[in-house]
Structure 1
């Protein structure tokens, strides 16, 4: 059956509850999903879903591009669709059946090569963010409206009043911040390794920045597909989980992200990545609240 790549209205018809159609809610957020002529292309979840679709040819795979808020509104309403890129936490596990797909590296500190030697490192060669914020010699630039996670947000809130850190509302996610760093208007920022890789692929002039781990932010983040807490959602999650729960499926999920990671990041978190994908080689087998609560972390 030929797979169709469509942009659909945000409310799905009741007829879509039949499993002849599999509807994916897509983030318009590269490189998680790279939208090309209205269709998924080479993004992380694009490649994940392409694998699932290739092993589930008896259904028609459709695509809706929706932001995070609208996607979760649809899931909470029981719409027969699955969100393709959700970071997993205890609160979301209560709201949806979630199939783990990949492990994401934690946020990194990106620094100009010329300033890297001035960073305050701990014994594990991780940046002490609180100490960095207290330095006047290095200039930071972060997005004003973005959350950097519970731990890092708490450190940022406690920064000294005279910290050399500016908050900006500039758009294009991190691209403009990286551009300002290239022009020496800032020395460091915080972002994901794969996000920097994407912007660097679009603009080779953004090369030359170094990424280093931040103390207190060393755990991998789990991401996956979220399906509604309905009989349809449970059956769909189980079907997807069975497709992914093989050595081939686990390796396909890993490849979807590996191309966007730097060699340094792959090496730094090699043991954690290996442990996660060994688990992904087996189906989760069931999707009840008790099991998901045991497997989740706040």
Structure 2
């Protein structure tokens, strides 16, 4: 999805010189927040601007995060904690270990993780550029029991490395709408980029490859870019 967003932005913002750099999410965030570096993150979750980071209008849409676990464990988790699963209950279950890529945050779910899992023996953080892939590899090898991510991340990983994994929707965010946006440092350079993105937002949203990518990974046509409100 991020590659499609990047390509749509690069195609639409022809007055800029573009350079693609692969960085861990945490490092990119630190560079924007603490160093006010001249870089933007293309697949941020849209939220209110703050003193350090500003966001564009919505470029694309995400389905809500869910629990990813092994197929043989999924039924057991559902029997204990429901379907959609209660993350609040699961996070307090002493039998299961959770893994989270370092620097990743999960919106409305993060306070539950912070309250019940962080600093416990059932919480594992994984660092590095391939942290999300490494978490899924740890899950497959039974070193951890579950993680949280988008269903499309699991499906992409399964295409590359077929293994038995399952996705369980979460009660606490079941009807939540998540919109992606470009995030830039809140300085004059960042504001210039965000203004340009917003001025070209329709071209970005209607990029054929971006639309096709969303339809493929989000499955339902109701989740495509065409339904993004103009105000976002």
TM-score normalized by the length of structure 1 = 0.58
C-alpha distance in structure 2 between counterparts of 1:105 and 1:179, whole Å: 23
Structure 1 residue 72: Cα displacement: 4.9
* Alignment-derived partner of residue 89 in structure 2: 131
Aligned residue in 2 for 1:279: 228
CA separation of 1:147 and 1:176: change in aligned 2, threshold 3 A: closer
Q: For 1:137-157, what per-residue CA distance to the aligned partner results, in whole angstroms no more than 9, with x for missing partners?
A: 4x2231374454354333234
Structure 1 residue aligned with 2:196, among 219, 229, 236?
Answer: 236
Asked if 1:48 corresponds to 2:5, the answer is: yes
Structure 1 residue 126: deviation in Å?
Answer: 0.8
Give deviations 1:14-55, integer Å, cap 9, x for gaps.
xxxxxxxxxxxxxxxxxxxxxxxxxxxxxx233233334445
Q: Does 1:223 align with 2:187?
A: no
Aligned length: 219
1:178 CA displacement: 1.9
In the aligned structure 1, how far is the partner of 2:124 from the partner of 2:216?
30
Structure 1: unaligned runs, 5 residues or longer: 1-43, 285-294
Aligned ranges for residues 79-158 of structure 1 at < 5 Å? 82-92=40-50, 95-96=53-54, 98-119=56-77, 120-122=80-82, 125-137=83-95, 139-143=96-100, 145-149=102-106, 151-158=108-115
SS of the counterpart of 2:182?
strand
Bigger Rg, which one: 1
Moved runs in structure 1, 4+ residues, more than 6 A?
A: none
Q: Within 5 Å, give how 1:180-259 maps onto structure 2.
A: 180-204=138-162, 207-218=163-174, 219-226=176-183, 230=188, 232-233=192-193, 235-244=195-204, 248-249=206-207, 252-259=209-216
| Deviations 1:147-189, CA, capped at 9 Å, x for gaps | 543543332344389x872424454313223223222333322
- Which deviations, in whole Å up to 9, do the C-alpha atoms of 1:238-264 show, x marking residues without a partner? 43224236xx44x64333344445xxx
Rounded to whole Å, the distance in 2 between the matches of 1:144 and 1:235 is 31
1:101-134 per-residue CA deviation (whole Å, 9 max, x = no partner) reads: 1112222101211111112344xx2111222234
Separation in 2, partners of 1:135, 1:109: 14
Give the superposed CA RMSD: 3.6
State which drifts further: 110-119 or 60-69: 60-69
Contact 2:45 2:179 in 1 (8 A): yes
Name structure 2 gaps, 5 residues minimum.
none
Match of 2:29 in 1: 68
Residue 186 of structure 1: SS of its match in structure 2?
coil
Q: Label 1:188 to 1:235 Cα distance change in 2 as closer, same or farther (>3 A).
A: closer
SS in 1 for 2:98: strand
Greater relative contact order (CA < 8 Å, ≥ 6 in sequence): 2
